[in-house]
Structure 1
């Protein structure tokens, strides 16, 4: 990350003024290049094919259609097929995490922030815990707000941000949220949070990246946090 970006961070955010740090999980705490989603993507397709008794090509079409229409494939399956979400979540997150490496520098940067730190994810708590253990950052966080806590309603539905801040008694005006999907920052910004987008080239990731609700951008979370 450039010195210019670091200087902007130092000028705009004082970590002592922040009470709560909110982080997405996947492609945020670890690089998108790890590409865990490729595994999840395949397992989603397999689950749909088995559950709906369709071939893999049709399953793929449904998977992407439900994602676009409902925010997550899971929500689409629940809405349109009255599916029990638990077997789905267990199946799609049963993936190889060997590519997620321990990151002592990230743990150190998180520990240096002060305040409360939470994971806010559209995935399950079990998946989040496994990833956090691999990264070596589990002890840095005070809680996980997952898709079950959100009653299976995914970000960026504004109502679940209200539920999240109520659960943990968060003052949004003294909070920072970090996300790889830019559009998921809009409700947080509307509540008064400072919003950080993890830069990436995925179409679903950069949608909304140039909007006013993205206050900061970085391609190096560890460096960004250390520069505060």
Structure 2
């Protein structure tokens, strides 16, 4: 089953935050906090009210940024620069991660709701930036966020890449559903705190970490 599922795959799509790095590093927790601070400052409201708006927009639009652009005409570059100004010192270069990503046959890209500059810093901190040929970030996606996969599908079509040859690694279940509809093999990366029992039909495989996923998949090629 596992071998047959991956033997003809040659295009690998990686989410960034809490997927390619361990959520225990709490990098995204910093981003989450800076979103709240940005909203509080720009809208001149309490952080409690800012938090409500932040989560409301995330739920309704897929990203907080999308809601801020729609309702408050916030310039995306200003928001992205502020929220991604975080401490990445907990991310360390990982030779095993480099080795296992490199072993995957074919091409690799990053697909993220963050921006390219931040993504490059994360990948550089992990020592794996050179392995990815492209970063499909929120700017290149024309600010169409996940869970929509319209930007991803457009990228695949433009580059004549067939969906059935693709594998997509992602920590958020909801971001995999639309990809699965197009025939992309979906891999849910769940951390040790994931307790929700889920049998979503659009999840093809689940692993506790990106390393577990990569090592397991690479073994099918031996």
TM-score w.r.t. the length of structure 1 is 0.89
Residue 162 of structure 1: how far off its partner (Å)? 2.1
Query: Paired residue for 1:183?
Result: 174
Is residue 136 of structure 2 the alignment partner of residue 151 of structure 1?
Answer: no
Contact 1:150 1:163 in 2 (8 A): no
- Aligned ranges for residues 5-24 of structure 1 at < 5 Å? 9-10=2-3, 12-14=5-7, 17-24=8-15
Residue 11 of structure 1: how far off its partner (Å)? 5.1
For residues 156 and 204 of structure 2, the distance between their equivalents in structure 1, rounded to whole angstroms, comes to: 20
For residues 69 and 132 of structure 1, the distance between their equivalents in structure 2, rounded to whole angstroms, comes to: 29
- Aligned ranges for residues 1-228 of structure 1 at < 5 Å? 9-10=2-3, 12-14=5-7, 17-200=8-191, 201=193, 209-227=198-216, 228=218
Contact 1:161 1:187 in 2 (8 A): no
Residue 114 of structure 1: how far off its partner (Å)? 2.0
The ranges of structure 1 where at least 4 consecutive aligned residues each deviate by more than 3 angstroms after the TM superposition are 8-12, 200-203
Contact 1:23 1:177 in 2 (8 A): yes
What does the per-residue CA deviation read over 1:18-40, in whole Å, with 9 as the maximum and x for residues that have no partner? Answer: 12000000111111111111111
Contact 2:97 2:211 in 1 (8 A): yes
What does the per-residue CA deviation read over 1:141-173, in whole Å, with 9 as the maximum and x for residues that have no partner? Answer: 111000001111111114223223234432111
For residues 121 and 164 of structure 1, the distance between their equivalents in structure 2, rounded to whole angstroms, comes to: 13
For residues 178 and 29 of structure 1, the distance between their equivalents in structure 2, rounded to whole angstroms, comes to: 8
SS in 1 for 2:89: coil
Contact 2:19 2:209 in 1 (8 A): no
SS in 1 for 2:188: strand
Q: Residue 64 and residue 135 in structure 1: after superposition, are their counterparts in 2 closer, same or farther (change >3 A)?
A: same
Residue 202 of structure 1: how far off its partner (Å)? 5.8
Alignment RMSD: 1.7
Structure 2, unmatched stretches of 5+, are none
Q: Residue 202 and residue 48 in structure 1: after superposition, are their counterparts in 2 closer, same or farther (change >3 A)?
A: farther
Q: Residue 92 and residue 167 in structure 1: after superposition, are their counterparts in 2 closer, same or farther (change >3 A)?
A: farther
Residue 49 of structure 1: how far off its partner (Å)? 1.1
For residues 211 and 147 of structure 1, the distance between their equivalents in structure 2, rounded to whole angstroms, comes to: 26
Structure 1, unmatched stretches of 5+, are 1-7
For residues 116 and 11 of structure 1, the distance between their equivalents in structure 2, rounded to whole angstroms, comes to: 19
For residues 178 and 48 of structure 2, the distance between their equivalents in structure 1, rounded to whole angstroms, comes to: 34
What is the aligned length? 216
For residues 88 and 194 of structure 2, the distance between their equivalents in structure 1, rounded to whole angstroms, comes to: 21
Contact 1:178 1:197 in 2 (8 A): yes
